[in-house]
Chains A and B, each alone.
Chain A
Amino acid sequence: MDLKDKLVSSFMAFENNVDVEHPVHDIRSEAIKNFEEKGFPTKKEEAWKYTSLKGLQKIDFSIFPKEVNALGYKDVKKFFLHEIESYKIVFIDGIYSSFFSETTHDGVDICLMSAALTKPMYKQVIDVYFNKIASKDESLTTLNTAFSREGAYIYIPKNKMPKKPIEILHFSTGNEASLMLQPRSLVVVEENAEVQIIERYQSLTTNEVLTNSVTEIFAAENAIVDYYKVQNDVKTASLIDNTYINQKSKSVVKVHTFSFGGKLTRNNLNFYQNGEHIDSTMKGVTILGYKQHVDHHTLVHHIEPNCESHQDYKGIYGENSTGVFNGKIIVDKIAQKTNAFQQNNNILVSDKATINTKPQLEIFADDVKCSHGCTIGQLDEDALFYLQSRGIPKKEARALLMYAFANNVLESVRIPVLKSRINRLIAEKLGVRLGFDL
């Protein structure tokens, strides 16, 4: 039985475990119908031209994980950014772990999707926001919608800001030979509120894991959202990340994506600017080796006038890795005075690595400033020589240049601990010890 049939047929089993009377269940039933009709995307579709899911579909993933596998604190400690200085929502094999988590209801709600979907006190928020911005016909998103049950739920009321950053961590323990996870998260940030979120998927063994996640983020007027995606998973873990962001006037949303690991990673990042004077930023650093494959698919839809968007993706590709960047900017007819920038720079360090990039502009308004730039190249020989002539070994000199290349993206990381953590990860990826702690 292929994966699609398996998923469709296990929907019934899933129904036994959720409240089918709840209005959300209508959304789920609608979604599974769409997935059944569309199935997994194929390479024939323009959006999936460079990324094939064929290999993944051959794996017999189990869809409902077994009992919680108890993990020791020492197993997971190193993946936490802070021990106490952050709120944590931790899932083990898709199931919430209260032991490792630190949630709160003190002025803000940092808790679980499962609670939000069942408890009446959250009903109002769920009615207004759940599945409102996520695509209703993109097949993988609807697949997630159909099985939506667990994930993070974050609600920041007007004028509030949580005291600490929030970490969302998904661990998989290898309890199953191969596991498919479908976390569903909702982040609502009300007027003048602010939040910082760090998200990480981590497999602890080399068993196959496929995560198909959907996150909906709503930023109300003047809200500020910083979202960091740290993707440094093991070589058998695949991730399809679907993030939908709806922004109201004067809100600022920044998403940073650090892709260093995983087998196949697909990031669908969609911004919808429903208001004026909005600022959207997408930045990413990708450093790959082995046969890793990362596909960044961004969309910024400028719906209203006087908004800005910035995209900056840097990639370094070694060995047999493949990098894909597909950035799309749509400027509607009424979205005059839009400023949209898109930048994608890549370095190929191996003869077997591949880069496919497609920065795309679709512009219907005339008074706009839109530009995109994209380069594929190598390290500057002169710069390398300069460093070597000053006694820096070639390997370190190369690493230093690559580090400098990626640094632009790091500059806007606003959590210092995260910044130095990423710095260390980059150094590790480049196989050097940089003689300075950043």
Chain B
Amino acid sequence: MAYTEEELKKELETKEYEYGFYTDIESDTLPVGLNEDIVVAISKKKDEPSWMTEWRLEAFKVWKKMEEPEWANVTYQKPDFQAISYYSAPNSKPKYNSLDEVDPELLDTFKKLGISLDEQKKLAGVAVDIVMDSVSVATTFKKTLAEKGIIFCSISEAIKEHPELVKKYIGSVVPQKDNFYAALNSAVFSDGSFCYIPKGVRCPMELSTYFRINQAGTGQFERTLVIADKGSYVSYLEGCTAPSRDENQLHAAVVELIALDDAEIKYSTVQNWFPGDKDGKGGVFNFVTKRGICEKNAKISWTQVETGSAVTWKYPSCILKGDNSIGEFYSIAVTNNYQQADTGTKMVHLGKNTRSTIISKGISAGKSQNSYRGLVQVNSRAKNARNFSQCDSLLMGNECGAHTFPYIEAKNKTAQIEHEATTSKIGEDQIFYCNQRGIETEKAIALIVNGFSKEVLNKLPMEFAVEAQKLLEISLEGSVG
């Protein structure tokens, strides 16, 4: 029997969010609301030195004066910042030396997530730092890394143990007053990952962080700081999930990357926060500030696969400060049902002979809205800057939207900038071709979408690419246009 569109639709609608379970672990949660006392309390809970507390308070002061940005092409019920608990930690011992000490229930959670820590440790050789409800619960492979002089730990640990590095670099790329959410994050961030690669070291394995919001009514505010010293290389992975809930959860992270001379950072994200149910109820608000700075001959490459979140507001950026530095941005954003995504990148060319590449693939289905918003800026002193941007959108069904807002500003006559954008749907002839060869429509779509996204998927590290491909299939199941 033929697979009708109706059936597909039904299947899509009943397709539940696979990762939507809630782990019943006792949590240590601060009362809801936000004021200076809470900021101080968070800082105290984390045993932070006074300079950090002050830094937080400074950010809080700025934040109070700021207004929520409204320019993005998304509509949502603004979160009530006084109704959120700003700190929630799994109430077990905060430190583990090996996985055996970890609460078995937590481990179960990870298994459900499909990240079996042991397995990953053995097979993939990935060092993982897991952040659950804003507190880092486990960092694997710490020893192996330490031999090379690589520091990979939670940021609260780093604040205590490597204050000189944190003090120097935190806020240097994303200042406290950068934007509304960055300021909020600076004031209340609870944990996150910290990574330092010493001079000339090539990190032998992929570093990885998993984020998960578990407790109801909490916001997750993590802060990631990656520093690649001169001539070093690191590939960093980030994955996110959250259980399904009716109410919206808030995620406002800040990621700062610093690539010193000749260094290279590859930062990959697979974002799969709970997108809300088929009626658009619930889901995570993902308001993230990600930015990297490149010194001489350095390279930063952002790769992201965005399939989750009810609202995404995210612009991983590169500041190409040093001469001959390179910035790259590869993105796939998939939206379905009532999801809204406003995502893109900023490439700021300051140094000479800087190059940037932007490849963005947007896929929208259901009643979703998918926007690309990007800025390419060439400063008057940035001689021979080169940029290539390509934004392709794929529409499935006639109730979704795809939008492009590219800003291009050139102030140097030697700049060479190209921008291309296309919007199309999956061709009937393409599907027919597949059908003819015995590939059913559903599979054909997966195949075509995969081909459409290939350029970006290829940039992901192996382990992630497989996961991302699966995610793409799940997100789009049944959305035959």
A359 CA to B418 CA, complexed, in Å: 12
Which of A336, A351, A370 is close to B380, meaning CB atoms less than 8 Å apart?
A351
Contacting residues, chain A, for B423 (C-beta < 8 A):
361, 363, 368-371
Stretch at the interface among B43-51, B138-146, B211-219, B393-401: B393-401
Contacts known (A361-B403, A366-B481); A371 close to B421, Cβ less than 8 A:
yes
- Tell whether A6 is near chain B: CB-to-CB under 8 Å: no
B348 shortest CB reach to chain A, Å = 14
Contacting residues, chain A, for B421 (C-beta < 8 A):
359, 361, 371-373
Contacting residues, chain A, for B378 (C-beta < 8 A):
376
Inter-subunit contact B380/A364 (CB<8 Å): no
Contacts known (A362-B401, A363-B403); A356 close to B417, Cβ less than 8 A:
no
B399 shortest CB reach to chain A, Å = 7
Inter-subunit contact A355/B403 (CB<8 Å): no
Inter-subunit contact A363/B395 (CB<8 Å): yes
A325 CA to B400 CA, complexed, in Å: 27
A378 CA to B406 CA, complexed, in Å: 21
Interface size class of B (residues with CB under 8 A): 35 or more
Stretch at the interface among B232-240, B283-291, B327-335, B407-415: B407-415
- When C-beta atoms are compared, the residue in chain A nearest to B415 turns out to be A376
Contacts known (A366-B396, A366-B425, A370-B423); A352 close to B405, Cβ less than 8 A:
no
B382 shortest CB reach to chain A, Å = 11
Chain B, range 66-94, C-beta contacts under 8 Å to A: 71
A273 shortest CB reach to chain B, Å = 17
Inter-subunit contact A358/B407 (CB<8 Å): yes
Inter-subunit contact A353/B413 (CB<8 Å): yes
- Tell whether B419 is near chain A: CB-to-CB under 8 Å: yes
Inter-subunit contact B398/A333 (CB<8 Å): yes
- Tell whether B4 is near chain A: CB-to-CB under 8 Å: no
| Per-residue contact bits, chain A 217-249, to B (CB 8 Å; 1 contact, 0 not) | 000000000000000000000000000000000
- Tell whether A360 is near chain B: CB-to-CB under 8 Å: yes
- When C-beta atoms are compared, the residue in chain A nearest to B427 turns out to be A367
Chain B, range 388-447, C-beta contacts under 8 Å to A: 393, 395-425
- Tell whether A198 is near chain B: CB-to-CB under 8 Å: no
Inter-subunit contact A378/B416 (CB<8 Å): yes
A373 CA to B380 CA, complexed, in Å: 23
Interface of B is mostly: strand
Interface size class of A (residues with CB under 8 A): 35 or more
Inter-subunit contact A354/B419 (CB<8 Å): no
Inter-subunit contact A360/B415 (CB<8 Å): no
A359 CA to B419 CA, complexed, in Å: 9
Interchain Cβ contacts within 8 Å, total number = 117
Inter-subunit contact A361/B411 (CB<8 Å): no
Which of A356, A362, A365, A376 is close to B407, meaning CB atoms less than 8 Å apart?
A356
Contacting residues, chain B, for A372 (C-beta < 8 A):
404, 419-421
A397 shortest CB reach to chain B, Å = 17
A45 shortest CB reach to chain B, Å = 11
- Tell whether A350 is near chain B: CB-to-CB under 8 Å: yes
Contacting residues, chain A, for B402 (C-beta < 8 A):
361, 363
Contacts known (A360-B405, A362-B403, A370-B422); A376 close to B398, Cβ less than 8 A:
no
B340 shortest CB reach to chain A, Å = 13
- Tell whether A391 is near chain B: CB-to-CB under 8 Å: no
- Tell whether A159 is near chain B: CB-to-CB under 8 Å: no
Point out which of A46, A352, A362, A368 has the most chain B C-beta atoms below 10 A from its C-beta: A362
Inter-subunit contact B413/A369 (CB<8 Å): no
Which of A355, A365, A367, A370 is close to B409, meaning CB atoms less than 8 Å apart?
A355
A359 CA to B415 CA, complexed, in Å: 18
B24 shortest CB reach to chain A, Å = 43
Inter-subunit contact A374/B410 (CB<8 Å): no
Inter-subunit contact B416/A356 (CB<8 Å): no
A-B contact pairs, 27 of them (CB 8 A): A336-B398, A354-B411, A356-B410, A358-B407, A360-B405, A360-B406, A361-B393, A363-B395, A364-B400, A364-B401, A366-B395, A366-B398, A366-B481, A367-B398, A368-B424, A369-B423, A370-B423, A371-B420, A371-B422, A371-B423, A372-B420, A373-B418, A373-B420, A373-B421, A374-B418, A375-B416, A375-B417
Given contact pairs A355-B408, A363-B423, enumerate 15 new A-B contacts (beta carbons under 8 Å): A336-B398, A348-B413, A351-B412, A352-B380, A358-B406, A359-B419, A359-B421, A360-B405, A361-B402, A364-B400, A368-B423, A370-B422, A371-B422, A374-B408, A377-B416
Q: Which residues of A contact B (CB under 8 A)?
A: 46, 333, 336, 346, 348-378
